[in-house]
Chains A and B, each alone.
Chain A
């Protein structure tokens, strides 16, 4: 099983700032099969990024994904009020697993 470790656990930022979230895998993720999801309280997760860097339908271009192998990054270029949420990475190159999440909170 591939273990995904997300850091930091919590990110305290102000609207308009840049957010950089990290996801590290215990072994190489096949074919960059890495996704990012956003989850708000009481809601289901929403797909943001798939294939490490492709934005899902309807996702604003302030969200971008990068990385390969074992190190991946989600960047939110300028935080909007609706972006404060928990973010999860997921690998689906083998039996799917999720990271523990990063909470982006208002500073």
Chain B
């Protein structure tokens, strides 16, 4: 079945970096893009950015420009999201989600990865 499986929970100190993975299965990875969405505890959803698995093109949310990098490895059908210079307000569950293109709804979601930033 079509699914996205994410890496496990992370605990990081302020100023550190985190890299979350999202492994796709059950569909042709390069036919879709992957968006990343985060959700702070008890809060709503925030779109972080999108990457095309076909050609690696990216589009990042303005507020995260310069701190986030999204990549893919087509040989393993895996997408990655790296966030640098972590702050306490980056504590959140991070989701990957499939979309045909940048301007598309997200039909398949990963299970989420909890990232905690704490000294």
> Measuring CB to CB, which residues of chain A are less than 8 angstroms from any residue of chain B?
1, 33, 35, 37, 44-47, 50-51, 56-57, 88, 90, 92-101
Contacts and interface: CB of A to CB of B under 8 A. Distances in A.
Nearest to A49: B105
Interface residues of B, number: 21
B59 A92 contact: no
B12 to A, nearest CB: 22
Contacts, number: 57
A57 B107 CA distance: 9
A30 to B, nearest CB: 8
Chain A interface mostly: loop
Contacts of A33: 103, 105
A98 B46 contact: yes
Given A96-B47, A97-B47, A99-B44, A50 B110 contact: no
A22 B26 CA distance: 35
B107 A56 contact: yes
B72 interface: no
Nearest to B107: A47
B110 A98 contact: no
B106 A47 contact: yes
Given A44-B112, A47-B107, A90-B105, A95 B46 contact: no
